[in-house]
Amino acid sequence: MPSTFIPHHLVHAHLSAPPSIPNSIPELRIPAEGDFPPTDEDYAEPLLPDHAVSVYHDPFTNILARTIHNSYVLELRSFSPTISASRPRGLDGSESLRIFFPEPLRPLANGSVVVSRRDKRLFVLVLSETNIVYRLNFPLGTFRSASGDRFVFTTKGNDDWCEDYEVPVDVIAACGGVGAWTVLDEDTVVLGGGDGGIVRLTRSGPWRPEGGRWTASHHRASSRLRLPSLFSRSANSDEQIISFAEFARGDHIPVLYTLSRDRKLRTWNSSTGSCLKTVDVRTASQELVVRGSQEPSGSSTLEDGSVKMIRVVPHPSKSSRFSHLIVVFFATPHSSASAGTFVVYRALTTTHGVGDLVLAGDKPCSSSSAGSELRGFDVLPPVQLDDVDNGWTLWTTWDRDGSTYCETIFLDDLSQFTTYLGTNDFSLLTNWQPVASPSNVDHFDAAYFDNILSFQPPNPADPRDNGDIPAAFIQHLFHPGRFSTLTLATALEEYTQQLSRKKQSSQIYSSFSSLSRRYGDIVGSQIELRDSPQTGAPEVEAHRKELKLEWLGVWATVRELDKQSRWPIGTTVIRDNLYILTREGVSVPVPEDTGGLVDLLGQDGIDAEAFLDLPEGALRRLYPSLGGPQARSSVVAISRSGAYMSSALKQQDAEEGTGTNLEAFVYQVNDQLTRGMQEPPELIAGSLWDDCVDPYMSEEDRTKIRRLLSESPSTSRALNQSLDILEDTSLSLKSQESADLSFSGSGHAIVASTLAQMIESRYQLARNILLVSIFHLSESRDPSAEDDEAEELIEILARTLTVYHRYRVLKWVSDQTGEEARERNKSRRATKRKVNGGDDTLAEGLGSLKMREGDEDSGADSDAFDVGYSLLHSLLARQQHQPIDEVSISPYLQAASSFLEDLGLLSRNQTDTAAQVADVKLAYVILVDGHPLLAGEYTDMYPLSAGLAYVRGRAFLESGGVGEAVQYLEKAAAGCKDGSLSPILPSASAQNGLGDYYRHVCRVFDEQAADGPVVHFGQLAIQNSPADGPSSRDLWTRVFLASIALENYEDAYSILTSLPFIDLKRDFLGQLISVMCENNEIGRLNTLGFIGFQKDVEGMLRFKARNSDPLRFPNYYKVLYSWHITRGDYRSAGEIMYLQGRRFAEGSSSKVPAFELSAMQARSYLAAINALALVDRRNAWVSVAGAPSKTLRGIKRRKVSSYIPEEEFSKEKRPVDIVSLADIEMEYTLVLSQLRLSSHIPDLHEQGVSISPQEVVGLFIQRGMFDIAQSTASSLGVDMIDLFHSLATRCVELSRLPDHANDFSSAAFLQTSPVTARLRGPPSALAMRYLQSALARHDSAKTDWRYRQAVADTLFEMNSDKRRGWQMPVWLAQWEMDRDPEGWINRALRWGWIAEALDWSLDLIRQAIPPELLPKGQADVTYTPYSLFDRVLAAAGEGDEKEEKAVQNKAKVLREEVARRVKGLQG
């Protein structure tokens, strides 16, 4: 008999949900003709596609094989609670695989997954319902079996992965159909026949499909001759084999056991297929078995091979006369006493033969199993720990009304593996013991939700705000571990499909939000708040009722799907621990810890009387605090009385608000303890009793409680012992830790489930103890008396309140999901920036804990198990790793206990509810794991301390509340003085702790791009840190950069001037200039003094101007121009603008049109001209490196003569061009002229052609733009002869236009010119007036009057034909006659203007001084060109003029005047 009492409870964990694209599970399809399955409904009905129909777990490869999609798909995935830390990473392939078959598969058999070291392949063998054997193979790669490694399925380059063999029809007919089947090795498959025989399918040849050869041999159970029958046996015959089991040891004969419906247990030679032994199963309760066998075949246990009804247990001792045990199960479904019986046989195999089966006995099932269906059973060895004897145990798993029910019983009396002394004194050690299965959702019914949700909105002022209903249901739906992600997603999908298309909102199709948010967006979205037709007021109550019913429907759907997902399919054993495999998860029996056991006793989950009767040794090793009988009775009394008080309060509805009186009591306690013990504990407990308990306890209740407490010798001592149990979270059983193994994602999920149940039971016990303690206070004397009894009672109350508060905190942690971290990883705030924090000496806080950023963590465990469903799982996987012991009574109980012990929230005799070191550490762990909102809520459960203020401030910061973060982080600085920050920030308590703390906070804000607090805390850090500290440079840098980011440039300048590091000043200066220029803060830049840095500023700006594109922002030429103008350096300002113009002239690689570039060039030159105009003329020049500008080619430049040293002509020296103000003005005029021409010549800039000043003036002349041509020519120093030639020609052309002509386009310039725009008259007269004005402006002695000469020549030339009637302009003739009459007359003669020459000669001679006025004898004092007159007269006598009477008359007059003049001179 086992001597150690170990009760268990069942914990459940869901399998990880299938990943989504692009990380979805790879899929393969069996090569076959046609589509498969025939219809989509075959995949989805009757079970959900992802719910397993059958499962098989291979313990050597840790591969879990599941048939899903209603047996059309085989899913292979790695499943093990542990994983090797040294396994290879980053292998090409996937740990999961799905294979689609053309027909449904039979239930998976033992040995379906086989590793062949010879072929270095993994083989998977399955059998379809059409009796086709599929043999799949995959390369092993680096996989090592039984080592904690994970198999990686590789499909690339594995074309020969599938082989199939169809069992011959005649063989199937001969054996009477196929029932159960099994796999012996990769080349041998055994089918169970309907005739009680077997069919061996063997394969020979190499492993590749094309090289294999299959054979099928039918082996009968007996040698009796069987005549052919007209009616073939079906697979449901009484002889049908329903289960297999195999045993092989060394060189012994390998045997195969089969069990048929007719209770025949046969032994077969696995190698030859011969039947060796046949036994009719007989038990002590033979009548019960026989009666069950006589019933019809409607057994409650499926006999299709999906449930293993035979187990072989190897004998642990090789010296035993028996080699193994055989455990067989038969069901008795119609018995109200039991579901069946387990029969045990002893067997022997040797190298030569097989012994007879010896009946060892039987174990009838418990009465609790009656009417249930067996889903699996296993025999587990005892735990190999000192002083722990739980014996060999038989574990059974039942389907009881669609739920999992598990039991266990010792088997030592039948196995006889060790010396057994029979006794039946202790029922808890010898009888069937149920495994407690905590109710998951049974009590969450409609009445429950009606109780917690009122019919009135939470905010009466806003009747349309009914978010409390979705929030309540979402909280219950997404409670960690309650429902799987697949269940929730399926229920939402079904609900969505039920909505009418008209009412589907756009949120339904959003796949990017979390599942919980999609629930909130979709469920009830079609329900609208209606207004009353009578009053017009919103019908809130009806709306809330309708909305609640909608959510209750979804809740019912989820519960039904969850019940299906938890349905047990089979069992497996991993590392001597039982695992119940369900459709979508796994359930594990875990031993109760001390607190859970005590709570279970209070709820009558265990017979208290039987528990009290146990010997001390049965509890001393595992539950040392319950070993003594007196301690046991005391604890049981407290637990039962507390459970009774809780039940009494729970059955009464609260007077105000919603919920029960128990919930009201809990709320009041929580609210009081959150504020801390501001009053003595006895006053707090007294007020709780008076307000929340006493009014609702009847006298009958009080009597019942007193009676239960009377079973304890001392209530105070019993309370202390109960508190001791809750304060102790350690497990007394420990062994050596495994160095290579760690928990996998599945293992952490089971540990998290174990933790949640452990915390739940301990929290209930702590609450019950609190109720008992305040009841004890009401029954005791006034605690104000100063005696030992009063002091003891006060201490008990303080301990009780503190213990309850800590378990309340732990329960809150266990109730939270890790969804926040997952969502933060998906949508990381863009303001988050990484900085170099390598010099942060505070990074050692809590070891290597770091705030997860961006893609560092995708929210998955070590094997891609999503941890977003549970905060506990997230902490286990990423922060609080728990070791695995080599030998343990339960690795999950050990890990859960170690987790609580490591947290350290509970300590011995703790009486202060204020946050201690462990409380602050846990808050910080939650924070750094990526749950700032949860960390903030966690701190709300404690009175504020420095450590919690730090965590709360960090939580606000991570959540975007920068202002609140500053407030709390400032308060947390007090922890540097009292050392309360040292648990999470060890360096904060050092010699320079305050400065280090402020520096750390500054870095934290810097990571979040909160620049204001960076400046604030950075300055505090600088003030409280030594100036020569190793981190001072980093601090100054952070503060300076943050000031710039805040656009507090004046503060940044102040920091620059105060900086103690000379080498950083230039870097800061450049950064300040760059940022201010990029933010277009040029005005503020110029107002800064930059005392001592002006040359540096100018140098930096010049460097940036030279090496930046002036077309891009910022334009450092403009910045530098503004800098110089502000400081009165106009010459430098003009120089930088001229250089910018030169840059524009050089062109740019940008797509800016050339016209715009020229415009910007012109503006640059104009700015340069304006700046240099303010400088003394002697200094109005700039020096430009390089050759002179090519734009002024053809224009004569001034010469500068000075002494130039010889070294200036070296190769290293670049030529320097001296550009004066006049040069810039000419360049400006030229560019401006080109811009003016561009409106008339669109492609002038597109071709990039450079034109000379002369060409520019010529282009203006061509287009009749005489005003602009004159000004341009004047500015550029271009000769205007061509201009006046064209202008004179235009005047002649206008004079020749007929008076009735309408085309005056050639006179358009007269209308725009300021000279003639306001004058009235014919165009010819206006043109002549314009010509006269132009000559007056531009023709002078400096030009040697060349322009008038050019005009005169043009007029003479164009009017040589006298018939045109042209007359030389009087003003021109008069001017010429006044200046050079002789030359004018000669020009007239040259061009054939004889008549005009005669007139001008007459005018000349008549203007001479009359002879009579000359002095006597001094006729030579005046000059008269008589020779010219002679030439004129001679010309008049030649050609056509001699025939013209008018000409001859003028000639006559001229001769007379000349004669009179000569005569007068002679006289």
**In terms of pLDDT, which residue wins out, 1155 or 906?**
906
Give the type of residue at 549: L
* Confidence (pLDDT) at 312: 94
d(CA 1359, CA 1432): 19
Structure tokens at 979: 């050392």
Residues 6+ apart with CB under 8 A from 455: 540, 541, 544, 545
Q: How confident is the model at residue 733 (pLDDT cuts 50, 70, 90)?
A: confident
φ/ψ region of 721 (left if φ > 0, alpha if ψ in -120 to 50, else beta) reads: alpha
User: Residue 228's pLDDT is what?
Assistant: 43
Which pLDDT tens digit goes with each residue over 1274-1298?
888 888 888 888 888 888 888 887 7
| pLDDT over 50 (residue 54) | yes
Q: What is the C-alpha separation between 544 and 562, in angstroms, rounded?
A: 26
In a 3-state reduction of DSSP, which class is residue 129? Answer: coil
Q: Does the pLDDT of residue 225 top 70, yes or no?
A: no
Which of 136, 132, 246 lies closest to 186 in space, CA to CA?
Answer: 136
Phi, then psi, of 729 in degrees rounded to 5: -105, 5
Q: Is 1351 exposed, middle or buried (0-12, 13-18, 19+ CB in 10 A)?
A: buried
Q: Which residues contact 1070 (CB under 8 A, 6 or more apart)?
A: 1100
Q: Look up residue 945 and give its DSSP letter.
A: -
Residue 923 has pLDDT above 50, yes or no: yes
Instruction: Check whether 949 has a pLDDT greater than 90.
Output: yes
The candidate with the shortest Cα–Cα distance to 940, out of 674, 746, 728, is: 674
DSSP 1244-1286: GTTTT----HHHHHHHHHHTT-HHHHHHHHHHHT---HHHHHH
Does 100 score more than 80 pLDDT? Answer: yes
Q: Which tokens is 1111 given?
A: 């077309």
CB-based contacts of 70, cutoff 8 Å, min separation 6: 42, 43, 44, 45, 46, 47, 49, 53, 104
Virtual torsion, Cα 1083, 1084, 1089, 1093, nearest 10 deg: -90
Residue 291: its pLDDT value, please?
37
pLDDT digits (tens, 9 = 90+) for 498-509: 886 545 544 444
Spell out the residues 6+ positions from residue 1201 whose beta carbon is closer than 8 angstroms to its own. none
Question: Mean pLDDT over residues 413-426, rounded?
Answer: 67
- pLDDT tens-digit readout, 979-997: 888 888 888 877 788 888 9
Residue 1320 has pLDDT above 70, yes or no: yes
Name the residue among 395, 332, 337 with its Cα closest to residue 590: 395
Q: Residue 295's pLDDT is what?
A: 42
3-class SS at 1466? helix
Q: Give the pLDDT band of residue 466 (cuts 50, 70, 90).
A: confident
Confidence of residue 87 (pLDDT cuts 50, 70, 90): confident
Burial class (CB in 10 A: 0-12, 13-18, 19+), 258: buried
**Cis peptide before 629, with omega less than 30 degrees from 0?**
no
Higher pLDDT, 999 or 422: 999
Instruction: Return d(Cα 1221, Cα 1230) in angstroms, integer.
Output: 14
As a whole number of angstroms, the distance between CA 697 and CA 661 comes to: 11
Buried b / exposed e across 791-805, counting CB within 10 Å, b at 16+? ebbbbbbbbbbbbbb
Task: Report which of residues 1324 and 224 the model is more confident about.
Answer: 1324
| HEC string for 398-450 | EEECCEEEEEEEECHHHHCCCCCCCCCCCHHHHCCEECECCCCCCCCCHHHHH
How many Å apart are CA 1042 and CA 1018, to the nearest integer?
Answer: 9
What does the pLDDT look like over 572-629, one tens digit per residue?
999 889 999 999 999 999 999 999 999 999 988 888 888 998 888 888 888 999 988 8
The packing angle between helices 1221-1238 and 1154-1172, to 10°, is: 150
**Residue in 222, 266, 258 with CA at minimum distance from that of residue 242:** 258
Give the per-residue pLDDT at 1121: 92
What integer is the mean pLDDT of 727-732?
88
Where residue 75 falls among pLDDT bands split at 50, 70, 90?
very high
CB 1354 within 8 A of CB 1289: yes
What confidence category does residue 837 fall into, taking pLDDT thresholds of 50, 70 and 90?
very low
Residue 1214's pLDDT band (cuts 50, 70, 90): low
Q: Which of 84-88, 326-330, 1265-1269 has the lowest mean pLDDT?
A: 84-88
Q: Is 337 helix (H, G, I), strand (E, B) or coil?
A: coil
How far apart CA 758 and CA 763 sit, in angstroms, is: 8
1175: Cβ–Cβ under 8 A, 6 or more apart, which residues? Answer: 1130, 1131, 1134
What is the average pLDDT across 180-186?
94
Instruction: Calculate mean pLDDT across residues 921-930.
Output: 92
42 has pLDDT over 70: no
| Local confidence band at 956 (pLDDT 50, 70, 90 cut-offs) | very high
pLDDT of 1416 reads 72
Name which of 286-300, 866-880, 1053-1067, 1404-1418 the model is least confident about: 286-300
Under a CB-based contact definition with an 8 Å cutoff, are residues 129 and 721 in contact?
Answer: no
**Model confidence pLDDT, tens digit, residues 280-320:** 987 665 544 433 333 433 344 667 778 999 999 998 877 78
**What values do phi and psi take at 821, rounded to 5?**
-65, -40
Q: Which residues lie below 8 Å from residue 200, measured CB to CB, with a gap of 6+?
A: 188, 189, 190, 216, 217, 219, 273
CA neighbor of 777 nearest in space, from 685, 678, 642, 639: 685
pLDDT for 753 equals 94
Mean per-residue pLDDT, 830-852: 43
Residues 1230-1239, mean pLDDT to the nearest whole number? 81
What per-residue confidence (pLDDT) applies to 52?
93
Pick the range with the lowest mean pLDDT from 1106-1115, 1187-1196, 1244-1253. Answer: 1187-1196
Bridge partners for 204 per DSSP: 213
What Rg do the C-alpha atoms of the chain give, in angstroms? 54
Residue 893 has pLDDT above 90, yes or no: yes
Find the distance separating the first CA and the last CA of the chain, reported in whole Å. 181
Are residues 411 and 590 in contact, defined by beta-carbon separation less than 8 angstroms?
no
In this prediction, residue 1239 carries a pLDDT of 75
How confident is the model over 1229-1236, as a mean pLDDT? Answer: 82
Is the confidence at residue 378, as pLDDT, over 90? Answer: yes
Q: Give 506-515's long-range contacts (Cβ < 8 A, gap of 24+).
A: 512/826, 514/819, 514/822, 514/823, 515/478, 515/485, 515/488, 515/489
Q: What is the C-alpha to C-alpha distance for residues 17 and 585, in angstroms, rounded to an integer?
A: 10
Q: What is the pLDDT of residues 1347-1387, one digit of tens each?
A: 888 888 888 888 776 666 678 888 888 888 888 888 888 88
Looking at residue 83, what is its pLDDT? 87
- When the pLDDT of each residue in the chain is averaged and rounded to a whole number, the result is 84
- Given a cut of 60, whether residue 219 has pLDDT beyond it is yes
Q: Which of 172-176, 225-229, 291-295 is least confident?
A: 291-295
Q: Specify the pLDDT at position 827.
A: 53
Q: pLDDT exceeding 70 applies to what percent of the chain? A: 88
Joined tokens for residue 420:
């057994």
Structure confidence at residue 586 (pLDDT): 95
- pLDDT of residue 681 exceeding 60, the answer is yes
**Cα–Cα distance measured from residue 873 to residue 868, given in angstroms and rounded to the nearest whole number:** 8
Q: Is the pLDDT of residue 778 over 50?
A: yes
**How many residues in total does the chain contain?**
1467
- Residue scoring higher pLDDT (1217 or 313): 313
pLDDT range class, residue 567, cuts 50, 70, 90: very high
pLDDT for residue 848 is more than 50: no
> Does residue 232 surpass a pLDDT of 50?
no
Give yes or no for a contact between 990 and 1006, defined as CB atoms under 8 angstroms apart.
Answer: no
Share of the chain above pLDDT 90, in %: 39
Read off the pLDDT of residues 685-697 as tens digits, 9 standing for 90 and up: 999 999 999 999 9
Q: Tell me what pLDDT residue 1191 has.
A: 56
Strands 8-14 and 585-591: antiparallel
pTM: 0.80
